[in-house]
Amino acid sequence: MIVAVASGKGGTGKTTVAVNLAGSVGTDIQLLDCDVEEPNCHLFIKGTVRHENTVGIPVPRVDESLCDGCGECGRFCQYHAIASIGTKPLIFPEMCHGCGGCAKVCPKKAIADVNHRIGTIRIIEAGPITLTEGKIDVGVAMAPPMIREVKLKMRKNIDAILDAPPGTSCPVIAAVRGSDFVVMVTEPTPFGLHDLQIAVDTIRQLTIPFGVVVNRMGIGDDRIHQFCREQQIPILVEFPDDRRIAEEYSKGNLIIESLPQYRSIFESLWERVWNSVHP
Amino acid sequence: MKIAFTTSGNDLDAPLDSRFGRAPKFLIYDLDSDTFEVVDNRQNLNAAQGAGIQSAQSVAGSGATAIVIGHCGPKAFRVLSAAGIKVFNTDAATVADALDQYRSGKLTQSGAADVEGHWI
């Protein structure tokens, strides 16, 4: 079972839910930090780095002696990473998504791939938890290829929890695609609802089953509950607005260990997700 | 010789658009025949990235060898330079004003991008 933890709005508690959920399972579990612009699961999952590798994407290099300036490469590239001006196409590696299409459409076979580094992956072992973390380099604005690389490290037959990036754009799609269930973490505020609605539209288009976790109950109002009732979206569990949770988070502690009274909520969240995926 | 202008309108009295990559249109003026044509650039208005690069390719395809624009970023400048298109910056209000400035030699050719890129 692959469970993605996502949210429209940032700062609602995705990482808190992901790391504590992983910690509450007890048996072997994979945790994938797909928030590759600023991965932070490792602050809570302390273990030994077992593996580290760099990640690159294939960007084009043109053999100008073979190029006849036909312009097919530039017309094909939707990201405008290659501009065909005469027989010396210009390449913008930082714009390239590494699809390799320009090389395929070149009639003169003048385009080859070269590796362009975008970041690193680390695998950290911490008891039953295997944390795989992707991190793109400073200045790189190309999260989806890194997220796909992180997911390629996933081993079959072991349940996986994915900590997705916030928002609803390409990196989120790259993270949650292929999941069996999406846990959407939100808070009962106008911002929380606004962004949840956009996230719900997105996940529905991907046709992945999902449910909502309401965090910081007690702030705001009942608008999330009203929305979920109208839309027939299950509210999986709720967490109160407890200052101690924030304090433990700020120290890099797992809530399930330092505030054990909350462990059962994570356990029931896992159980509800499990039962939804295995009816 | 043809010269390109960024604009949101359809004639010489139209405002000069200060943006290059996401300018709605390009007015391509032929200095030899004193005629012009307007090239639509709307496809780039909503481009996720690379609007400047694509716009520079469109201008190159129009046959223009110079462009008078408000601002030009680094990637667009690189493509325009590669295509041999001279870049002139102006704060003229209309295409006609910019054309007058060009004709009277008040504009100096730009040697580099005058603004930062919007993507990275």
What is the interface pTM, i.e. ipTM, of the complex?
Answer: 0.81
pLDDT interval class at B117 (50, 70, 90): confident
**Gap from A265 CA to chain B (nearest CA, Å):** 41
- Six-digit token string for A43: 């602050």
**Gap from A187 CA to chain B (nearest CA, Å):** 30
**pLDDT of A205 strictly over 60:** yes
**Gap from A104 CA to chain B (nearest CA, Å):** 21
Q: Please give the average per-residue pLDDT across A186-207, as a whole number.
A: 96
Q: How many angstroms separate the CA atoms of B27 and B111, rounded?
A: 22
Q: Which of residues 113-142 of A touch B (CB under 8 A)?
A: 139-141
User: How high does pLDDT run on average in chain B?
Assistant: 91
Which residues, 6+ apart, have CB-to-CB distance to A251 below 8 Å? none
Q: How many angstroms separate the CA atoms of B8 and A196, rounded?
A: 37
Phi-psi region of A237 (alpha: psi -120 to 50; beta: other; left: phi over 0): beta
CATH numeric code, A2-47+127-277: 3.40.50.300
The Cα-based distances of A200 to A7, A8, A219, A239 in angstroms read 9, 8, 22, 20
At position A137, the amino acid (one-letter code) is: D
Q: Which of B68, B63, B62, B120 is nearest to B93 (CA)?
A: B68
Size of interface A-B (CB pairs under 8 A): 44
Test B119 with A79 for CB contact under 8 angstroms: no
At position A50, the amino acid (one-letter code) is: R
Which pLDDT score is estimated for B45?
78
Task: Specify the CATH number for A56-117; select among 3.40.50.720, 3.30.70.20, 3.30.365.10, 1.10.150.530.
Answer: 3.30.70.20
Q: Which segment of A2-16, A144-158, B39-53 scores lowest on mean pLDDT?
A: B39-53
At position B74, the amino acid (one-letter code) is: P
Q: Please give the average per-residue pLDDT across A251-266, as a whole number.
A: 97
CB A77 within 8 A of CB A173: no
Q: How many angstroms separate the CA atoms of B68 and B33, rounded?
A: 19
pLDDT interval class at B118 (50, 70, 90): low
Test A90 with B78 for CB contact under 8 angstroms: yes
SS3 A161: strand
SS3 A48: strand
Write the pLDDT tens digit of every residue in A36-86: 999 999 999 999 999 999 999 999 999 999 999 898 999 999 889 999 887
Write the pLDDT tens digit of every residue in A80-136: 999 988 768 999 998 898 889 999 999 999 999 999 999 999 999 999 999 999 999
Test B120 with A139 for CB contact under 8 angstroms: yes
Q: What is the residue-wise DSSP string for A108-119?
A: T--EEEEEEEEE
Which residues, 6+ apart, have CB-to-CB distance to A152 below 8 Å? none
Test B82 with A74 for CB contact under 8 angstroms: no
**pLDDT of A141 strictly over 90:** no
Domain extents for chain A?
Answer: 2-47+127-277, 56-117
Q: Which of B39, B29, B19 is nearest to B101 (CA)?
A: B29
Test B82 with A90 for CB contact under 8 angstroms: yes
- Nearest Cβ partner for A85 among B50, B79, B119: B79
Test A74 with B83 for CB contact under 8 angstroms: no
**pLDDT of B42 strictly over 60:** yes
Write the pLDDT tens digit of every residue in A150-181: 999 999 999 999 999 999 999 999 999 999 99
Which pLDDT score is estimated for B120?
41
CB B65 within 8 A of CB B56: no
Q: How many angstroms separate the CA atoms of A245 and A15, rounded?
A: 13
Chain B CB within 8 Å of residue A86 CB = yes
CATH numeric code, B2-103: 3.30.420.130
Chain B hits for A81, CB-CB cut-off 8 Å, are: 50
**pLDDT of A140 strictly over 50:** yes
